A and B are shown apart, each in its own frame.
Chain A
Amino acid sequence: MKKEPVRIKEKAAQERVGNFDEVVCGYSEAEALEEAARCLQCKDPTCISGCPVGIDIKKFIFQITQKDFRGAYLTIREKNNFPSLCGRVCPAEYQCRKSCILTKKGSAFASKQAINIHFLERFIGDFGMKNNVAVSVKEAPQMFRYKVAVVGSGPAGLCCAGELSRCGIKVDIFEGLHKTGGVLRYGIPPFRMPRDILDFEIDYLKKSGVEFFLNTIIGKVKSLDELFSQGYSAIFLGLGAGIPSFLGIKGENLCNIYSANEFLTRVNLMSAYKFPQAHTPVNIGKSVCVIGGGNTAMDSARVALRLQKLNGIPLNTTIVYRRTEVEMPARRLELEHAREEGLKFKMLVKPEEFIGDKDGFVKKIKCLQCELGEPDSSGRRRPVEIAGSDFEVDCDEDNRHRPESKPDFD
């Protein structure tokens, strides 16, 4: 008989929506052992091909079953510098878990039955962190013959720095903001990525010799040529998504219309949820609309719900999305969490115009109803507007998210 997946413990929705503490509690040792025991240890494992960095998943899960957590940690570290981070935010259901043999063939994302590889990775990452598992950084000063400049301390820059420093290359990271981590800190909310975990993983890099230079905007304060002339033999540009894109519809610059970047930066990086103890303000409306269906939209929506709760406003935050739930690019877990926390959904709805009051604050969104047409280049069914279907949605705050890397609005 097939064993059921071990469900991860989570904080109760009603309780967690009132704070920014981590939602997912992580496996206990017993739970990790039970989940690891479900792994079939395939002769030709398919999961590994789904992992972008090629972690030997089969091996580290086997090591868990043998209670060799230290060994499992080292196995993951061989390929991945940030097990505690990736165990929390990797879109596993589109990657390793999707290619797990237990996922039904042809499904868009991992089946429930697939091994919870990400939770096991997180368990091991946290074990390594708590137990200070020493990792074999090559401590050979003569290896530091080269130095490399990494521009940006977000996930790309951190990864690059981790990989280079493990080869014995000196790395200096230049960060424009006043804190490290890039989108991990300004974008991903603390309830998905606790800041002590992030700090630990970044401190780990510092211990292995990586140096950080904050408040340093390369291109403004130093040109690439100047970096080369300072002795860097290579420069890695991990610049992030750049300028947020907007919908390009009327009324978009009304007050209380935020890009996801601005809204999340105010709250996550600048701690606006602690206002006035933290000095950066953020406004929160009685009916908040979040436009989009990706992870950033889910993060924005769940932050909005928490701000409503903390400000004594009845929860009323709605996702406005042009397609349906199946087409949403968000992680299924985030979607599930958001729904438990009281997020509402308006599917097959496309915003046409924002309408404001005399002081320039947004009050309504004029929308069109859509239906699904033929699949587009992304393989998802295209939303088609229904003529004459316009209607209005109340909204006194709007956070829009357009997936940064895609030219089309999803």
Chain B
Amino acid sequence: MKLVNKKILTERQGAKVTQIEVFAPDIAAKVKPGQFVALMVAEEGERIPLTVVNKDETKGTITLIFQEAGLTTGLLGRMNHGDSLYAIAGPLGHATEIKNYGKVILVGGGVGIAEIYPVAKAFKEAGNHITTILGARTKELLILEKELKEVSDELLVATDDGSYGKKGFVTDILKGLLDERRTTNDERLVYAVGPIPMMKAVSAVTKGFNIRTIVSLNALMVDATGMCGCCRVSVGGQTKFSCVDGPEFEGHEVDWEELDKRNRIYADKEKHICRLIKK
């Protein structure tokens, strides 16, 4: 549970994304792309889920990437090489179904880019043609571009401010691409991870083209092992638990509005506690 490595990937405009490598040999031996861990920074801390971005079985470590968004990720960001987490459990959730689909488009937004990396790598190894579309607010906030380039056949970038790649959103690129290839119509799968509005928009675009779309949801969790039901989401009109039924679901079936509202349940309390800690 010790941090054996820490690297700040980017820190701009109040956004800070950090990469840590944690010694967790049992998890490293078993984790597959798409799975996550639940961790606690301290005994009085929250349990939060984080997707495993990479693993090194020989070193017995896993890599996690997170953006400091609230108290717990803030505290995690303050931990240093040699510090130990209070708890880490995993691997949790279903792994991504890796096979040769043919042509796959991966869409990553913000820190969600970290989550598509292990999936992109595995899809590539399975023989897929990979198109990767990355989105960030601005050039400096773009992470893992180099790593993703290595496992992609083509890589496209959109930034909100146009400082790099195309000005606009990932959905602009995605829509353009699908329009262009409408005649060949050989894209078999879209895999998207990012903020809720992005995943919602991506799903809306691909629905128009009738392309299967998998999203990895970031619902709030407590135990993260199927015991509490905090992470329930409506998918295809049925209640599912993100932790044990997911975290991946069919994007066209997800009730995005409900997920968005449920993820704001503690918005006030989060603000309050972050203010207290800053003082």
A21 CB–B CB distance under 8 Å? no
Min distance, Cβ A272 to any Cβ of chain B, angstroms: 9
- Which residues from chain B contact A240 at a C-beta distance below 8 Å? 227
B27-64 CB contact bits vs A (8 Å, 1 = yes)? 10010000000001010111100000000000000000
Most buried by A among B233, B244, B273: B273
Min distance, Cβ B51 to any Cβ of chain A, angstroms: 15
- Which residues from chain A contact B230 at a C-beta distance below 8 Å? 258, 262
List residues 228-283 of chain A with CB under 8 A from any CB of chain B: 240, 242-244, 246, 252-253, 255-256, 258-259, 261-262, 265-266, 269-271, 274-281, 283
Known contacts A221-B91, A270-B222, A283-B265: A262-B273 contact under CB 8 Å: no
A41 CB–B CB distance under 8 Å? no
B173 CB–A CB distance under 8 Å? no
Residue of A nearest to B275 (CB): A276
Chain A interface category by residue count: 35 or more
Residue of B nearest to A187 (CB): B227
B262 CB–A CB distance under 8 Å? yes
Q: What CA separation (Å) do A255 and B87 show in the bound complex?
A: 28
A177 CB–B CB distance under 8 Å? yes
Evaluate contact between B46 and A270: CB separation under 8 angstroms: yes
- Which residues from chain A contact B27 at a C-beta distance below 8 Å? 221
Evaluate contact between B44 and A255: CB separation under 8 angstroms: no
Known contacts A178-B40, A220-B90: A243-B222 contact under CB 8 Å: no
Which one of A130-138, A210-218, A285-293 is at the B interface? A210-218
Evaluate contact between B265 and A265: CB separation under 8 angstroms: no
Evaluate contact between A242 and B227: CB separation under 8 angstroms: yes
B71 CB–A CB distance under 8 Å? yes
A176 CB–B CB distance under 8 Å? yes
B241 CB–A CB distance under 8 Å? yes
A376 CB–B CB distance under 8 Å? no
- Which residues from chain B contact A283 at a C-beta distance below 8 Å? 265-266, 269
Min distance, Cβ A401 to any Cβ of chain B, angstroms: 12
Evaluate contact between A177 and B26: CB separation under 8 angstroms: no
Evaluate contact between A253 and B30: CB separation under 8 angstroms: no
Known contacts A222-B26, A253-B239, A283-B266: A261-B87 contact under CB 8 Å: no
A314 CB–B CB distance under 8 Å? no
Residue of A nearest to B277 (CB): A276
Evaluate contact between B258 and A360: CB separation under 8 angstroms: yes
Q: What CA separation (Å) do A221 and B89 show in the bound complex?
A: 9
B100 CB–A CB distance under 8 Å? no
Most buried by A among B86, B87, B233, B257: B87
Evaluate contact between B223 and A265: CB separation under 8 angstroms: yes
Residue of B nearest to A278 (CB): B44
Evaluate contact between B26 and A221: CB separation under 8 angstroms: yes
- Which residues from chain B contact A259 at a C-beta distance below 8 Å? 228-229
Most buried by A among B42, B90, B91, B230: B230
Most buried by A among B241, B257, B269: B269
The number of A-B residue pairs with CB atoms under 8 Å apart is 112
- Which residues from chain A contact B234 at a C-beta distance below 8 Å? 253
Known contacts A216-B26, A244-B228, A262-B229: A279-B89 contact under CB 8 Å: no
Q: What CA separation (Å) do A177 and B45 show in the bound complex?
A: 14
A196 CB–B CB distance under 8 Å? no
Known contacts A177-B223, A271-B44: A243-B229 contact under CB 8 Å: yes
Evaluate contact between A243 and B46: CB separation under 8 angstroms: no
- Which residues from chain A contact B26 at a C-beta distance below 8 Å? 216, 221-222
Q: What CA separation (Å) do A255 and B264 show in the bound complex?
A: 9
A374 CB–B CB distance under 8 Å? no
B168 CB–A CB distance under 8 Å? no
Q: What CA separation (Å) do A266 and B228 show in the bound complex?
A: 9
List residues 81-122 of chain B with CB under 8 A from any CB of chain A: 86-92
Q: What CA separation (Å) do A276 and B46 show in the bound complex?
A: 11
Evaluate contact between A178 and B87: CB separation under 8 angstroms: yes
B261 CB–A CB distance under 8 Å? yes
Q: What CA separation (Å) do A217 and B88 show in the bound complex?
A: 11
- Which residues from chain B contact A243 at a C-beta distance below 8 Å? 226-227, 229, 241, 244
Contact of B229 among A178, A244, A269, A271 (CB under 8 A): A244
Evaluate contact between A256 and B46: CB separation under 8 angstroms: no
Contact of B261 among A215, A258, A274, A359 (CB under 8 A): A359
Most buried by A among B46, B89, B241: B89
Evaluate contact between A217 and B229: CB separation under 8 angstroms: no
- Which residues from chain A contact B239 at a C-beta distance below 8 Å? 246, 252-253
Q: What CA separation (Å) do A281 and B266 show in the bound complex?
A: 7
Min distance, Cβ B47 to any Cβ of chain A, angstroms: 7
Contact of A275 among B40, B88, B225, B273 (CB under 8 A): B273
B17-32 CB contact bits vs A (8 Å, 1 = yes)? 0000000001100100
- Which residues from chain A contact B241 at a C-beta distance below 8 Å? 243
Evaluate contact between B222 and A253: CB separation under 8 angstroms: no
Contact of A215 among B87, B232, B258, B272 (CB under 8 A): B87
Residue of A nearest to B234 (CB): A253
Of the A-B pairs whose beta carbons lie under 8 Å apart in the complex, a sample of 5, sorted by A's number, is: A259-B229, A265-B223, A270-B222, A279-B42, A279-B46
Interface residues of A (CB under 8 A from B): 176-178, 186, 214-217, 220-222, 240, 242-244, 246, 252-253, 255-256, 258-259, 261-262, 265-266, 269-271, 274-281, 283, 359-360
Top 9 closest pairs, chain A to chain B, by CB: A360-B261, A178-B87, A262-B228, A281-B269, A259-B229, A215-B89, A276-B273, A281-B266, A278-B44
5 more A-B contacts (CB under 8 A) besides A258-B230, A262-B222, A279-B44?
Answer: A214-B87, A265-B223, A266-B222, A270-B222, A360-B257
